[in-house]
Amino acid sequence: MTNTNTSPDAFGLDARSYSEASPDHAVNEDFVLIGQNFAVVLDGASPVKGLDTGCIHDVPWLVRTLAGQLLALLTTSNDSLGDILTQAIEGVNGAHAGTCDLSNPNSPSSTVAILRRRRQEIDYLVLADSPIVVQRHDGTITAITDDRIDHLPDYSVAGISKLRNSPDGFWVASTRPEAGSMAVTGTLDLNDGGPVQQIRTAALLTDGAATLVERHGGEWADTMRLLEIGPRELIGHVRTVDESGTGKFRGKRHDDATAVLCTFPTNAYHAAAQVD
């Protein structure tokens, strides 16, 4: 898929992406959006089997509906990414408030990672465990993460329910619009204040595509090197390492995996998106 940006007010980005379901799960609950000047990755959270969510909808519905709200807002609004996410959650709530119990803490939810280019700046938002990784031309790498879920006092089903979307716990996109204001957000200068562009690439990953670092102790440089070969190649390698990995870890051995690699052309009128 190729998009061409002809707006003089929106400097674009080029993006390659790949997403696949977990090997032991038929449905992919991840979602990718790529626009003229933005990229979004969502990772729906599968509830514990039999858990009362108070919602007649499944996780893929939540992810698709949230993606639709974000797409509409990111293509029309100049609001901050936190405000956009807040409005998107409000829109999702409006789509099922009449049929579902939005006060249930186990309502379907999703992580969110958003990258948006505005001329020579890029805005970022990370909510829960879908990191954004930025690589500069000098090889320096910055990982933007929201690791609150890694520091909970209680990982029981009841404990996670209590701590989800709580000031003392962690935040996800579900039914509480204020999650937008709780995300990790910021803005980076593509030139780092100088005359020449310094930021080379940026990656958006779901946790299933980030296990080389987050589970197996690898370096982000290795993940970015594989991503530059291709997002499909990264995820293929992740699957191999996950299958052969040993040791204890929290979570599932296999998960849906999504990777997006963005570059930032200096031509303001060009933006393209490719799906491997």
Residue 4 is assigned to a structural domain of this protein? no
Q: Give the per-residue pLDDT at 253.
A: 64
How would DSSP label each residue in 51-85?
---S-SS-HHHHHHHHHHHHHHHHTT--S-HHHHH
Count of Cβ atoms closer than 10 Å to residue 187 Cβ: 12
- Give φ, ψ of 170 to 5 degrees: -140, 165
Q: Give the per-residue pLDDT at 184.
A: 99
pTM: 0.91
Residue 206 is assigned to a structural domain of this protein? yes
Domain that holds residue 157: 14-275
Domain count, the chain: 1
156: left (phi over 0), alpha (psi -120 to 50) or beta: beta
Q: Using CA atoms, how far apart are residues 100 and 242, in angstroms rounded to an integer?
A: 37
Q: Using CA atoms, how far apart are residues 233 and 231, in angstroms rounded to an integer?
A: 5
Q: Residue written as tokens 């990995």?
A: 245
191: left (phi over 0), alpha (psi -120 to 50) or beta: alpha
Residue 3 is assigned to a structural domain of this protein? no
Q: Give the per-residue pLDDT at 26.
A: 84
Q: Give the per-residue pLDDT at 196.
A: 85
Residue 71 is assigned to a structural domain of this protein? yes
Q: Alpha carbon of 5 to those of 9, 143, 223, 268: distances in Å?
A: 10, 28, 29, 8
Q: Give the per-residue pLDDT at 4.
A: 32
Residue 2 is assigned to a structural domain of this protein? no
Q: Using CA atoms, how far apart are residues 272 and 216, in angstroms rounded to an integer?
A: 33
Q: Using CA atoms, how far apart are residues 48 and 71, in angstroms rounded to an integer?
A: 29
Q: Give the per-residue pLDDT at 15.
A: 96
Residue 154 is assigned to a structural domain of this protein? yes
> Could you say which residues of the chain have pLDDT below 70?
1-10, 245-253, 267-276
CATH number at residue 94: 3.60.40.10
Q: Alpha carbon of 173 to those of 62, 105, 259: distances in Å?
A: 9, 11, 19
In this structure, the strands spanning 272-275 and 14-20 are parallel
Residue 228 is assigned to a structural domain of this protein? yes
- Could you report the per-residue pLDDT of 62-99, keeping only the tens digit for each? 999 999 999 999 999 999 999 999 999 999 999 999 99
Task: Cite the DSSP H helix spans in the chain.
Answer: 59-74, 81-96, 157-163, 179-182, 211-214, 220-229, 231-244
Q: Give the per-residue pLDDT at 114.
A: 99
Q: Give the per-residue pLDDT at 95.
A: 98
Residue 1 is assigned to a structural domain of this protein? no
Q: Give the per-residue pLDDT at 268.
A: 43
